Amino acid sequence: MSTLFLKRFLSNPFQVASIVPSSKELIRRVSRKLDHSGPRIIAEYGPGEGCHTREIVRRMHPESRLLLFELDADLCVHLQKQFVNDKRVSVHNMDCARLPEVLAEKGLTHCDYVVSGIPFSILEKAKKREILTNTHAALKPEPHAAFVIYQVTNELRTRGHCDHFAHAESEWCFINLPPMFVTKFFKSANGHVVNGKNGHRTNGNGAH
Ligand SMILES: C[S@@+](CC[C@H](N)C(=O)[O-])C[C@H]1O[C@@H](n2cnc3c(N)ncnc32)[C@H](O)[C@@H]1O
């Protein structure tokens, strides 16, 4: 599986942005950010060859749904083969910015979690903003709902790109090549959605 990942990196280095899949330790740290005690709607951005996906699938509730968004067509074929017998999983060979559209097509209003491995730090500002706005809008306005990212830099948090989320928690995972920050952005604080740095409160789905 790593060979396919390396091949896809060599074919499109700026999109795939990593030569090896995430380590077991990083996968463990990311997966423990999700509460699987009930049915959840989960989206994963940039699953690659599926290392985080397999762990989410292993842990998730029988009635949960997992929507995978992967731009690379060859990786999508590989993902489809892996999860063909699991009706909870759907593979979407498209830009993750289209999450709200895919949720609507499936008759779903929101999701509980979005897990992302896409290389935000090398995305253009407008694309970054589109993905982050749509992600915020797609999450349930409930305290558990969250956007979980693993990134080499913590710029989404430190440079204010995710200030429309209510609050965030970060940890550092050095047992990975390269070491990564794992950050969990919550949509809601105490049951209220908070938009912007000044904490303007709404009770709905507002994104910045
Ligand atoms: C660094 S790899 C991460 C792969 C895997 N999740 C892991 O942890 O090993 C980033 C993946 O995101 C995908 N990707 C990049 N931009 C994307 C976008 N806008 N929408 C969906 N997938 C994207 C790439 O094709 C690549 O497979």
List pLDDT tens digits, range 135-179: 999 999 999 999 999 999 999 999 989 999 999 999 999 999 999
Token pair for 81: 């083969």
Token pair for 167: 């609050």
Ligand 1: does its nearest atom lie under 6 Å from the Cβ of 76?
Answer: no
Please state the pTM of the whole predicted model.
0.92
Task: Indicate the SS3 state at residue 104.
Answer: helix
Give the least confident one: 82-91, 118-127, 185-194.
185-194
pLDDT exceeds cutoff 70 at 32: yes
All domains of the chain, ordered by start, with CATH? 2-202 (3.40.50.150)
Task: Indicate the SS3 state at residue 113.
Answer: strand
pLDDT exceeds cutoff 90 at 79: yes
Task: State the Cα–Cα distance between residues 165 and 153, nearest whole angstrom.
Answer: 18
Q: What separation in Å is there between the alpha carbon of 111 and the centre of ligand 1?
A: 19
List pLDDT tens digits, range 41-78: 999 999 999 999 999 999 999 999 999 999 999 999 99
15 exposure class (CB count in 10 Å sphere: 0-12, 13-18, 19+): middle
Ligand 1: does its nearest atom lie under 6 Å from the Cβ of 30?
Answer: no
Q: What number does the ligand 1 atom closest to the CA of 123 have?
A: 16
Q: What separation in Å is there between the alpha carbon of 49 and the centre of ligand 1?
A: 9
User: Whose alpha carbon is nearest atom 13 of ligand 1?
Assistant: 46
